[in-house]
Structure 1
Amino acid sequence: MTVYSGPVFDMAAKQFNVIADHLGIPGDERERLLMPKRAITVSCPIHRDDGTIAVFEGYRVQHLLTMGPTKGGTRFAPSVDIGEVAALAIWMSWKCALVGLPYGGAKGGVTVDLSKLSPRELESLSRRYMQEMIPFVGPHTDVMAPDMGTNEQVMAWFMDTYSMYQGQTVTEIVTGKPVFSGGTLGRREATGRGVAHLARRVMDVLSIDPGKATAVIQGFGNVGSYAALGLHQMGLKVIAVSDHTGALHDPRGLDIPALMTHATKHGSIAGFSTELQFDPKQILTFACDVLVPAAIERVIDGPTAEKLKCRVLAEAANGPTTPEADLVLERRRDEIFLIPDILCNSGGVVVSYFEWVQDLQQLFWEEEEVMRREYQILDRAFHTMLARVKADNISHRTAAMAVGVEKVRAAKNTRGLFP
């Protein structure tokens, strides 16, 4: 029996067991590696604008404290539950280990429909959530970051709430803050930039000319929009994008800077064009060179994987591909080059780490330095994955996760079991 359940957690567990089988990890070690160290569930009551009181459920799961403090985003969305949060924390552990950061994985969230909150109610909920988490988080215990439904402003409220209780400003309690509140240059763009950078590395491997290549983006939030912009700046035609309001297609290539300006102003791509609209259900199976799923989990299942018409699959979202789809992608390995999520979207946590380091030192870097260091770490992890693929003749996901799980296992075995 476990408090964790649901399709997302089941997916994370299945992925882990595949890696554990590959690595030959004994059965009595597996549960210790997979199960989270700590899970917190809180009630977050707030005053609504009409004078009533509403209570929202909040969660935080800290998967691994062996490598250092835990690190992970905070998601405000209707779908949030303890199983989803636990799965995301587990994936974050393998991600941090793969790219060599001194963190374990964590994740948090509140089950809420943001469309039904006013700006004042959102601030109240953000502050109340952090207030409830204060006994369990800290700069050397658990460092929060933004995720779906949260942003720089929410992180600033988190930081301010924590600081008021400490009696001093503690900028290093969260990352993804505004630059003028202790944030780092390049953090907002980091995940999307990293996706585009790794896609370019793969195009180099496959001898694909960016000037003749096309890209499709599912999800046009912070990650998807900056991934689209990065690919656009490399010379690719971004021929289709989608978000929760619909989809746009232009075989000549969409005007990504103009679309980003529109989405920033209006909150979505809706209203950008009536002539370019098409069925968003077709977005994942569009013929293209680079496909970027940058929305939510489990959007590529087995049947969808059979229909993919891309050369590079760059997983900008967490867990967009189901285990059943992985079996299809393994069979299609010569056709589709997969950049697994724990590598592809790791640019965000890499630059979050840089922000944390800068806050601790009170010494801040120029954006060029942030980008140089981010790309250096991503390149190292990319080549580590490729070397493992070649050495063991395994899939890219298995290789990436194997590296991460091995590092976590080695750290746990070295430290031993206390007491």
Structure 2
Amino acid sequence: MSYSLLSDANQRLEKALRYVSLSDDVTERLRYPKASLSVSIPVRMDDGSLRVFQGYRVRYDDSRGPTKGGVRFHPHVTLDEVQSLAFWMTFKCAVLNLPFGGAKGGITLNPKELSKFELERLSRGYVDAIADFIGPDIDIPAPDVYTNPMIMGWMMDQYSIIQRKIIPAVVTGKPISMGGSLGRETATAMGAFFVIQTAMTHFSQSPAQTTVAIQGFGNAGAVLAELMFRAGYQVVAVSDSQGGVYAKQGLDIPSIRRLKDSSRGIRAVYCEGSVCSTVEHASITNEELLELDVDILIPAALENQITAENADKIRARYVFEVANGPTNSAADAILEAKGIHVFPDILVNAGGVTVSYYEWVQNRSGFYWSLDEVNRRLEQSMTAETEKIWAIAQELSVSLRTAAYVHALNRLGDAIQAKGTQDYYVS
């Protein structure tokens, strides 16, 4: 990448610092990750050859509790990216008032090129390499891009083998049969849906009058698309890594999801029973989807999708960031000047880590909740924090992103100051 993601993330921190009164100790602590680990993971491939993969784990800040964050398998994983994601996780956990700090991990590879056996050996090898760096009271990994409950189960099992006892709370996002929480797989989408529903009450616009475009039709994007479709929103465009579809009259999202699950592709279809028919639509690129004239734009793919190069072409009235860091700081200023309301990732996609927290609590207590209980608690948390951030934005006349960082900074500042700062020691 031509710029540092972490430096870009820190620009958001600097902007929010103008609106808080914190000790210099707090800002100094938050400028740097607490610990960064780079590891080499040797894997015996199915053909007998040996490949060595590069892996990372970063614990950014643990002022509020053990660190928490996903592990992604992707060709573009770098230490800078992982540090940036750990930075965002620190603020995300604070925004939702979770007793966690932020962490992230990743391995640089294309997981589609590996067999299931190779992926298992890689996942277990990663845990072998970072076992001393993680733990239920230290750092708790979770799923992220191209990782799933099966991979989390392998990781939990490998850690338990190393420790010679069953420790389900070391990893979240596990299969239900291994201590996973009901609602975890849909938590990111469900949390985003609760944010959207809460936010849209502040604008005089009904779901039936609201058009939506979603970039990214993976686990979070596809589930969110269906939630919005069933709530009456007009979802007119969706896309995956290969491109997307657009239909001005709206798409039948459940039918598209069925096609995607069966053929791994996206087409605008309508299904009745087992019979599906292609409906009129336009094929579009991911870049074209971002520039559609819609009410709500939802980037739910990868980071750095809205930049200074294309921000002026964004025509949506509201942007809800389901991906991590889809809008860079240079684009923020352009979108704000255009009057576009951007609801930031550290709020919108925090449903995943919130239900991960619920899973961790259930693992620690040995008492497991119903799906209704999980979703009730999630809705309560997402709604409350959205309203608080909206109120801060109105009170300070700042963007919603800055308001979210102010909200998180106040909570992080309280935790850091509780341990003693310069003001305490020199008074």
Q: TM-score range by the shorter chain?
A: over 0.9
What is the CA-CA distance between 1:86 and the residue it aligns to? 0.4
> Which segment is superposed worse, 363-372 or 16-25?
16-25
1:300 aligns with 2:297: no
Does 2:219 match 1:222? yes
Q: Where does residue 318 of structure 1 map in the other structure?
A: 324
Residue identity opposite 1:223 in structure 2: A
Deviation at 1:410, TM superposition (A): 2.0
SS in 2 for 1:415: coil
Aligned to 1:387: 391
1:296 offset after TM fit, Å? 0.9
* Identity in percent: 39
**Separation in 2 of the partners of 1:265 and 1:167?**
40
How does the TM-score come out when normalised to structure 1? 0.94
- How many residue pairs get aligned? The number is 414
Alpha-carbon offset, residue 223 of structure 1? 1.0
Distance (whole Å) between structure 2 residues aligned to residue 378 and residue 293 of structure 1: 19
Over residues 276-306 of structure 1, what are the superposed CA-to-partner deviations in whole Å (9 max), with x where a residue is unaligned? Answer: 3223321001111211000111111124222
Tell me which of 184, 187, 204 is aligned to 1:187.
184
Q: In structure 2, how many angstroms separate the alpha carbons of the residues matched to 1:52 and 1:184?
A: 38
Aligned to 1:149: 146
Could you list the runs of 5+ residues in structure 2 that have no partner in the other structure? 270-277
Deviation at 1:162, TM superposition (A): 0.7
Counterpart check, 1:117 vs 2:126? no
413, 418, 425: which one aligns with 1:409 = 413
- The 2-side partners of 1:394 and 1:190 are apart by 28
**Mapping for residues 78-97 of structure 1, pairs under 5 Å:** 78-97=75-94
Q: What secondary structure is seen at the aligned counterpart in 2 of 1:205?
A: coil
AA matched with 1:373: R
The 1-side partners of 2:261 and 2:137 are apart by 34
Q: Does 1:158 align with 2:155?
A: yes
User: Which one of the candidate residues 107, 120, 131 is aligned to 2:128?
Assistant: 131
Tell me which residue corresponds to 1:261: 258
The alignment partner of 1:63 has SS state of strand
Alpha-carbon deviation of 1:46? 0.4
The answer to whether the 8 Å contact 1:292/1:315 transfers is yes
The match for 1:52 is 49
Alpha-carbon deviation of 1:329? Answer: 2.2
Structure 1: stretches of 5+ with no match in the other structure: none
Matches of 1:281 and 1:6, distance apart in 2: 20
Q: Return the offset for 1:168.
A: 2.0
Q: Contact 1:199/1:312 (CA < 8 Å) preserved in 2?
A: no
1:24: Cα distance to partner? 5.7
Question: Aligned partners of 1:156 and 1:58: how far apart in 2?
Answer: 18
3-state SS in 2 of match to 1:41: strand
Query: In 1, are the aligned partners of 2:41 and 2:55 still within 8 Å (CA)?
Result: yes
Q: In the alignment, which of 369, 374, 382 is matched to residue 370 of structure 1?
A: 374
**Per the alignment, do residues 274 and 237 of structure 1 end up closer, same or farther by CA in structure 2, a change over 3 Å counting?**
closer
CA–CA distance in structure 2, aligned partners of residues 268 and 373 of structure 1? 34
DSSP 3-state at the match of 2:201: helix
Higher fraction of helix: 1
More displaced stretch, 12-21 vs 271-280: 271-280
Deviation at 1:26, TM superposition (A): 6.4
Task: After TM superposition, give the deviation of residue 125 of structure 1 in Å.
Answer: 0.5
Provide the C-alpha distance between the structure 2 equivalents of 1:185 and 1:37, rounded to a whole number of angstroms: 32
Segments ≥4 residues shifted beyond 3 Å: 24-29, 265-268, 270-276
1:243 corresponds to 2:240? yes
Q: What is the letter of the counterpart of residue 306 of structure 1?
A: D
Aligned to 1:345: 349
Normalised by the length of structure 2, the TM-score is 0.92
Residues 205-263 of structure 1 show CA distances to partners (whole Å, capped at 9, x for unaligned) of 10211122211000111111111111111111211111111111122222211222232
Which amino acid counterpart does residue 294 of structure 1 have in structure 2? A
> Does structure 2 conserve the Cα–Cα contact (< 8 Å) formed by 1:199 and 1:290?
no
Aligned match of 2:32:
35
- What is the RMSD of the two structures over their aligned residues, measured on CA atoms? 2.1
CA contact (8 A) 1:5 1:83 kept: no
